[in-house]
Amino acid sequence: SKEHFELKNYVASNPAKILKEDGLSALKVEYEFPTQDRADIVLEDKYGRIIGVEIELEVNDDDNQGPIQSIKYRRMLEWMFNTSPGDSRSFLVANKISRKIKKKCKVYGIEFFEVSAS
């Protein structure tokens, strides 16, 4: 959708400022894996760790796809960038994320951010 495209490009345009973490830089928007999966954004943090970013507009209590995608991309990026297992991060970025999903993200090591492109 147009809104998804805008949010993705907004976050990629200045991830350090938008996600409030110094040293974040965008490596690629729409990173395509050999499996035909596509990470919305690939970032790198100030320590050189790779970050798979899943962009969603809204994540409600029963929306599992976004969090699962971010977990999957994290591990796939470790393989593709030849980094040590576990030496990566996964982000879920949306306009709105339910409290239930935020709780579950904490359990599975998914960092989450609520942002608006407007």
Q: Which of 75, 74, 78, 55 is nearest to 65 (CA)?
A: 55
Share the mean pLDDT of the chain.
93
Q: Which of 36, 35, 11 is nearest to 91 (CA)?
A: 11
Question: Mean pLDDT, to the nearest integer, of 55-74?
Answer: 93
Whole-structure pTM value: 0.92
Give the 3-state secondary structure of residue 71: helix
| pLDDT score of 118 | 63
Q: How confident is the model at residue 116 (pLDDT cuts 50, 70, 90)?
A: confident
Question: Mean pLDDT, to the nearest integer, of 38-66?
Answer: 94
Give the whole-number percent of the chain exceeding pLDDT 70.
98
| pLDDT score of 17 | 92
* Residues in contact with 52: Cβ distance below 8 Å, sequence separation at least 6, in sequence order: 39, 42, 70, 72, 73, 74, 76, 77, 88, 89, 90, 91
Q: How confident is the model at residue 89 (pLDDT cuts 50, 70, 90)?
A: very high
| pLDDT score of 86 | 86
Q: Which helix (H) or strand (E) holds 100?
A: helix 99-107
* Contact (Cβ atoms closer than 8 angstroms) between residue 50 and residue 75: no
